Structure 1
Amino acid sequence: MKEQTEVGKLKEGRYVIIDDEVCVIKSITKSKPGKHGSAKARIDAIGLFDGQKRSIVQPVSAKIYVPIVERKTAQVLSIAGNVVQLMNMDDYSTFELTVPDEDIAKIKEGQEVPYLTGLGKMRLDVR
C-alpha cells in the first residue's frame, strides 16, 4: 500500500518509493528557487529490502509516493540453512523468508522476531 505526499514534506528517516522499491531517506538537500524555476529537492536514499543506494531530484511541490511500512512480530518455527519458517503472531499465518548468513546466528527456534512489510515484500529486522 502507498499514499501520495509532496516532496517538500518528506523528512530524513522516513520511507519513499524510488524505482518501485521501498527506500529509507538518508539525506534531503533543498535548493533555492532560481529566476525561472522552482525550488528543487535532492533525495538520497537506501533500499530497505535490497540495500542499493538511490537518489532523485524533483521540484519541492511535486507529488511522490510514500509506502506504508508495517512492523510486525513473528515466531520462528524452524530454520533450514538460510530459510526460516515464521508464524505471524497476529493472524497465525505461516511464511518463509531467506535470511543472510550474518543474521542466521542471531535467531533461534521458538524466538519472537520483528519483521518489516512493505509493497508485498518482507524482511527480518534483526539487530
Structure 2
Amino acid sequence: MADDAQHEHTFESADAGASTTYPMQCSALRKNGFVVIKNRPCKIVEMSTSKTGKHGHAKVHLVAIDIFTNKKLEDLSPSTHNMDVPNVSRREFQLLDVTDDGFLSLMSDGGDTKDDVKLPDGEVGEKISKLFIEDGKDTNVIVLAAMGEECAIDAKEAPRG
C-alpha cells in the first residue's frame, strides 16, 4: 500500500507529461526547424544529406544556431536515427517595467506577472529600451522558451486597444 501512495505523489509532481524535447527521425528534420545539438535548442540553418556509403547509411549534416546564445553548432547523424527536437514556445507579454538590475517585469494576457527574464544584450535589448524607456510607448515583448530556458527575442509597440 505504501508503494501506491509513493507512485501517486510522483505523478502529481510531474508537469502534466510535458517534455522539453521529443524525438524525430533525422531525415524528417527541415531547414528553419528546431533540433537539439550538444544539449542546446537550435534552429536549423543548413542541412545536407550525403549519399549512402559502403556501410549503408546516408548521413545528414546539420548546421544550426543556438536559439539563446546564437552560437553555431554542427552535427552529423545517420538519416535513420532519431534526434531530439525541443518544444519551443513563443509568447507575447506586456512590458510593465525594466528593473535596475536588468530584468524585465512582464505581464501575460491572463494577468500573471513574470520577473525572471533578463533584458537581453545587443539589438533586442536596445529595441526594448528605446521603445519603453526612451519613447515611453506601451511595449510587448516576445519571449522564446525551450528546455527550461527563456529569453526575450523581440519587442514591438503594443496595439492600442
CA contact (8 A) 2:124 2:153 kept: no
Q: Which amino acid aligns with 1:87?
A: M
1:51-90 per-residue CA deviation (whole Å, 9 max, x = no partner) reads 1110010100001110110111111111135322212224
SS of 2:154 mapped into structure 1: coil
Q: Which amino acid aligns with 2:69?
A: D
Q: Is 1:39 the counterpart of 2:58 in the alignment?
A: yes
Q: Provide the aligned length of Structure 1 versus Structure 2.
A: 127
Q: Which amino acid aligns with 1:51?
A: N
Q: Gaps spanning 5+ residues in structure 1: where?
A: none
**Bigger shift: 100-109 or 67-76?**
100-109
Could you tell me which of 17, 20, 24 is aligned with 2:36?
A: 17
Query: TM-score, length-normalised on structure 1?
Result: 0.89
1 or 2, which has the higher strand percentage? 1
Higher RCO (CA < 8 A, seq sep 6+): 1
Matches within 5 A, 1:69-80: 69-80=88-99
Q: Which amino acid aligns with 2:150?
A: M
TM-fit CA distance, 1:105: 3.3
Alignment correspondent of 1:121 = 149
Q: Gaps spanning 5+ residues in structure 2: where?
A: 1-19, 156-161
For the pair shown, which has the larger CA radius of gyration, 1 or 2? 2
1:98-127 per-residue CA deviation (whole Å, 9 max, x = no partner) reads 221433332216422211111111111216
Q: Is 1:96 the counterpart of 2:124 in the alignment?
A: no
Q: Which amino acid aligns with 1:103?
A: V
1 or 2, which has the higher helix percentage? 2
SS of 1:33 mapped into structure 2: coil
